[in-house]
Structure 1
Amino acid sequence: MAIKITEECINCGACEPECPNNAIYEGGVEWTISDGNAVTGEYKLFNGSVVDAHFKNPPISDDTYYIVPDKCTECQGFHEEPQCASVCPVDCCVPDEQYQETVEELLAKKEKLHL
């Protein structure tokens, strides 16, 4: 499953540079699938909708850092554990129960994001 940042976030920003998928954004910042990777063209999101990889999506949170579930792989294929959670000083990076994925699905997402 993806990781989420809870409302306990203190906006320190320690998590953002640690994400190998560029899935973490500062509150209020728009996100795209293509941020930090070479993905182009159409990309299918969790909710079934298809967006252009360069389409600017609205922020998931305006107040705190947030993680885009469609880009989060829990660091599978990169690290032993989610790096955002390992560097968070207030332990606000936790599993997101809304997005259940197997290790195989997370690795497939990694491959799709890192052509």
Structure 2
Amino acid sequence: MALMITDECINCDVCEPECPNEAISQGVEIYEINPSKCTECVGHFDEPQCQQVCPVDCIPLNPEIVESKDELMEKYYKLTEVK
């Protein structure tokens, strides 16, 4: 699954620079995660870095975008052009 940022976001700016895929950006009101770029840090780290640094714990899995670890790894390969 891709991750998502909920309305509890306080715009603290710590998640955006942690994302290795540049999937996080400032939205109209809060930060947003582009699901086509989010791999939950699969291929980069053992755990999603944005979740690790979020002070308000507002970055859960997005239940509307279900992806297996294999699918996330494939997305990582496409994003990084690693084969």
Is TM-score (shorter-chain normalized) higher than 0.5?
yes
**Secondary structure, in 3 states, of the residue corresponding to 1:12?**
coil
Higher strand share: 1
Q: Distance in 2 between matches of 1:100 and 1:18?
A: 22
Unaligned runs of 5+ in 2: none
Q: Distance in 2 between matches of 1:2 and 1:85?
A: 12
- Equivalent position of 1:39 in the other structure: none
State the Cα deviation string for residues 15-53 of structure 1 (Å, max 9, x = none). 0000010000012xxxxxxxxxxxxxxxxxxxxxxxxxx
- Equivalent position of 2:20 in the other structure: 20
- Equivalent position of 1:50 in the other structure: none
Number of aligned residue pairs: give it.
81
Which structure has the larger Rg over C-alpha atoms?
A: 1
Matched, 1:91 2:44: no
Runs (4 or more) in structure 1 with deviation over 6 Å come to none
The correspondence of residues 59-98 of structure 1 with structure 2, limited to 5 A, is 62-98=28-64
Give the structure-1-normalised TM-score.
Answer: 0.69
Matched, 1:11 2:11: yes
Unaligned runs of 5+ in 1: 28-61
Higher helix share: 2
- Tell me how far 1:110 sits from its aligned partner: 0.5
Q: CA RMSD in A?
A: 0.5
Give the structure-2-normalised TM-score.
Answer: 0.96
**Secondary structure, in 3 states, of the residue corresponding to 1:25?**
strand
